[in-house]
Structure 1
Amino acid sequence: MKRYLVYDVGGTSVKYSVMDEHANVLESSSSPTPPQGEGQIFRFIIDTTTKYKNKWELNGVALSVPGAVDVKSGYVHYAGQVTDFIGRSIKEELADIGLPIELENDANCATLAEKWKGNAQECNSFICVTIGTGIGGGIFLDGKLRRGKKGMAGEVGLMIMNSTESLDTLVETSTFSRLGSTWNLLNRVFLKTGEELTGEELFDHYHKKDNCVQGEVEAFFDAIAIGTANLIHTLAPEKVLYGGGISEQSGFTNHINERLKKIRPEIVEMTEIDVCKFKNLAGQIGALYHFHNC
């Protein structure tokens, strides 16, 4: 049996597991993401891998990382909150590990996980939209994951949703991420009410018809539906899958479908709206699948 150490690197935490070739978890753990600025993330990965090499016979290392990635060279053009990755080749930085290393963008990994073992196994074309601090996306068309120039394909969170602001401020004010991400929704509620709510608390208020949050949540669902309609009209996928904790809310897909029908009924006849099968393990499963197919 072959074994792999698989990492899912995020802005807040690094999750990692020893998996067999079928993505069965043999051991797992997580740690806070090291502070950025001095390259500590590379030392953390090297030290952690060395520890597991001494315990398990490993055949390789697979990573899910934020941002735009050149999967062949390992060079990272953009990496969100994990700024130490930017402008560096992760494969070169981790070469001392002495094992084969492969990496892929985190939203692309979630997409590959759904294709391999999730809710898109039968799809030839689908889109995965991950909703969290921002909005990420993975595009799988005509049997292939689409990465685009510099790995930037799928950065759907940068989609401009309206043009009411000055052009030079649209990315800061009017993108899919600004209008449709969980973090921005919670932040808008905080600015309005002064309450720091969790996602679960927010939707508890929403289901209780709390006027202070009702309008913000409705606007959030509107933004998700509008962004989704744009993606469907552009790429005509068989499915759009949503990931992220908020997609687990009861009736999530119903909220989106109701709005899509109002925008254009033909949309829901062409494309199925669904949620991702995998939650916290999505990045790791997809990273391992990418490793297998390099």
Structure 2
Amino acid sequence: MRIVAVDVGGTNTKMCICDKQGNVHDFKEYATESYLGGPHVISRTLEKIAEYDHFDAIAISTAGQVNAEEGFIVYANENIPRYTGMKIKDIVTHHFHKPVMVENDVNSAALGEAYYGAAQSFNNFLCLTFGTGIGGAIVINRQIYKGANGVAAEFGHIFTHPLSATSGVEGLPYYEKHASTTALVKMAQLADPECTDGKALFDKIQSGNEQLERILDLWITEVAVGLASITHIFNPSAIIIGGGVMEQEDLVRRVEERTKSLLMESFAGVRIVKASLGNKAGLLGASSLFVH
């Protein structure tokens, strides 16, 4: 079975052919041009899919809250304007007359890690990605738990601070306002305006900047507080954490140690593991919808 797998992100879209064994062929990546809006994003996706020959199905992983059963976008933020409400499954099915499945990007990444990556040995685990915000997925008995409306695991919007303690953060003090990569960079910029991204921050830390190291340590605590909270709720075997920032050497170990220091003893067996599939996780997870 040849499956066209698509991973629509706010910045870039990835696409490939996957087979039942999880092998990736004919990989390509292009700018999403999300600022032009949802209709443009999907129109361009159709054009790129049409460049492939001889495929049997189409699996789409996408940013935004997704009703996977009906294949439409329940809600998307301003990163992709006019994306909310788009009936992706209907549009793509009508265009290609092939079976189509649509899933949220972090749910797809979690499935990818479950079947092909870091979570292969875990039946019950959580998955979080740290980037512009914080995305989440809940896997119970190797199935995605979606909640009453299909949009469970918005971990980025749990509250880890009292409402009065916004500490300069715009809007409500959600977890992602304090523990996303965006939050880390903003914290660093207050101390050093040259820290315009994560790379600049970690380069300066490696050069011995003690003030930025202290800021990183505070951020690790922010991450750990959220992970400890959801561990006490779900009692998972593992938490898989991903996002570019987590590729930094020794960072996942520090997050795990800090998290375990906050846990009740009966929860301390949880493993915190770095995602292993990188930018292929969403593609492989989406394709698994037709395989598993």
Q: Distance between the aligned counterparts of 1:84 and 1:61, measured in 2?
A: 23
Written as runs of structure 1 = structure 2, the 5 A alignment for 1:84-103 is 84-94=82-92, 95-103=94-102
Q: Distance between the aligned counterparts of 1:209 and 1:218, measured in 2?
A: 14
Flag the 1:163–1:266 CA change in 2: closer, same or farther, 3 A.
same
Say if 2:13 and 2:29, in contact at 8 Å, map to a contact too: yes
Q: Secondary structure at the match of 1:127?
A: strand
Q: Which among 51, 71, 76 is matched to residue 73 of structure 2? A: 76
Q: Deviations over 1:138-186 (max 9, x none)?
A: 101233210113322111011111114279x998342111111112211
Say if 1:128 and 1:241, in contact at 8 Å, map to a contact too: yes
Q: Secondary structure at the match of 2:101?
A: strand
Question: Percent of aligned positions with the same letter in both sequences?
Answer: 28
Q: Distance between the aligned counterparts of 1:179 and 1:107, measured in 2?
A: 20
Say if 1:7 and 1:17, in contact at 8 Å, map to a contact too: yes
Q: Distance between the aligned counterparts of 1:214 and 1:277, measured in 2?
A: 26
What's 2:156 paired with? 157
What's 1:221 paired with? 220
Q: Distance between the aligned counterparts of 1:103 and 1:267, measured in 2?
A: 37
Q: Give the TM-score normalised by the residue count of structure 1.
A: 0.91
Offset at residue 5 of structure 1 (A):
1.3
RMSD (Å), alpha carbons: 2.1
Q: Secondary structure at the match of 1:247?
A: helix
Q: Distance between the aligned counterparts of 1:268 and 1:255, measured in 2?
A: 18
Q: Distance between the aligned counterparts of 1:198 and 1:268, measured in 2?
A: 34
Q: Distance between the aligned counterparts of 1:200 and 1:166, measured in 2?
A: 29
Q: Give the TM-score normalised by the residue count of structure 2.
A: 0.91
Say if 1:79 and 1:86, in contact at 8 Å, map to a contact too: yes
Structure 1, 199-208 or 96-105: larger mean CA deviation = 199-208
What's 2:205 paired with? 206
Flag the 1:67–1:30 CA change in 2: closer, same or farther, 3 A.
same
What's 1:17 paired with? 16
What's 1:174 paired with? 173
Written as runs of structure 1 = structure 2, the 5 A alignment for 1:266-277 is 266=265, 269-277=268-276
Structure 2, unpaired ranges of 5+: none
Q: Distance between the aligned counterparts of 1:265 and 1:208, measured in 2?
A: 37
Written as runs of structure 1 = structure 2, the 5 A alignment for 1:38-187 is 39-52=39-52, 56-80=53-77, 81-94=79-92, 95-165=94-164, 172-187=171-186
What's 2:250 paired with? 251
Structure 1, 195-204 or 2-11: larger mean CA deviation = 195-204
Residues matched between the structures, number: 288
Structure 1, 264-273 or 38-47: larger mean CA deviation = 264-273
1 or 2, which has the higher helix percentage? 1
Structure 1, unpaired ranges of 5+: none
Structure 1, 135-144 or 233-242: larger mean CA deviation = 135-144
Offset at residue 267 of structure 1 (A):
6.3
